[in-house]
Amino acid sequence: MDNLWEIQGKAYSAMLTAHGITFSYDGRKSTLTDVSIHVRSGRTIVLGPNGAGKTTLLNVLAGNVSARAGSVALSVGDGVPPVQPRDRARYARAVGWLPQRATPVRGLRVREQVAYSGWLKGMSRTTAWEAALPALDQVGMAAHAQDRANRLSGGQLRRVTLAQCLVHGSRVLLLDEPTAGLDPRERDRFAEILLGLPAEVAVVVSTHDVVDLVEVVGQVVVLNGGRVVFTGTPAEFLDHGDPSLPASRQAASAYSALVEERTHA
């Protein structure tokens, strides 16, 4: 295990903190404004309509882009200096990023693609190759290890991309719309995979679909207009819904109330 995560023989969970993040693509209109979020081990869902800033926030957290203002830091335990995105190698090893569009690497088989990802994160070729199969097993794709990556279905490729995040021992996983375009069976399977991840891994899932994963997360964040309009537990989130509605519609009701409240503020 990377010594970033093991101190005197003890493994630590991570906490990812973003404070006062402001970001703009054109230098004028802000896509994110004074956004703060604290992500601990377990699962966090980031909800928001299209254009709310979800993808931009995850890109900032992943270190793919730099905020105009604010800070991002990854803490691993008392007495250990936090890791920041500018420490590119260590930060990239700690944080796994799954973009909206999963892309096969031309000419590679599934296991080769996952091992290649580990090598890019600083693992030796031998270690990355050995770690690729267990990572694929975690996402239910070990049986496809020798398949050509470009012949996989959309759902299978999404799971392989998740294995690429796991192969190098990420303690934070940032998943941008991971179930978009998947059929109900693949969506359910993806949710089961997330539930089966180690407890010390912090998982952040962005989505505009309010029914995604709300029942299996520990924290709900709602973004609208580039600002955080809600942070809390699923129960606290659902309290914003209309109690007269059936349970199956509570999440949608709560989401609509929060988004409309911000829109008319």
Query: Read out DSSP for the chain?
Result: --TTTEETTEE---EEEEEEEEE-SSSSS-SEEEEEEEE-SEEEEEE--TTSSHHHHHHHHHTSS--SEEEEEEE-STTSPPB-TTSHHHHHHHEEEE-SS--PPTT-BHHHHHHHHHHHTT--HHHHHHHHHHHHHHTT-GGGTTSBGGGS-HHHHHHHHHHHHHTTT-SEEEEESTTTT--HHHHHHHHHHHHTS-TT-EEEEEES-TTSSGGG-SEEEEEETTEEEEEE-HHHHHTTS-TTS-GGGHHHHHHHHHHHHHHT-
pLDDT greater than 60 at residue 12: no
pLDDT greater than 50 at residue 6: no
Compute the distance between CA of residue 156 and CA of residue 153 in angstroms, rounded to an integer.
5
- Between 10 and 91, where is the model more confident? 91
- pLDDT at residue 7 in the model: 38
Place of tokens 């944080």: 95
pLDDT (tens digit per residue) in 120-154:
998 999 999 999 999 999 999 999 999 999 999 98
Mean pLDDT of the chain: 86
Residue 109 CB neighbour total at 10 angstroms: 18
Kindly state the average pLDDT of the residues 246-258: 87
Place of tokens 């290890």: 145
Kindly state the average pLDDT of the residues 55-71: 93
Domains of the chain (ranges, CATH numbers): 6-263 (3.40.50.300)
Give just the sign of the alpha carbon dihedral 252, 258, 261, 262: negative
- pLDDT at residue 263 in the model: 55
In sequence order, which residues have a C-beta less than 8 Å from that of residue 63 and are 6 or more positions away? 72, 85, 88, 91, 92, 95
The model carries a pTM of: 0.88
Instruction: Report the percentage of the chain scoring pLDDT > 70.
Output: 89
pLDDT (tens digit per residue) in 178-219:
888 888 888 888 888 888 888 788 999 998 777 666 667 889
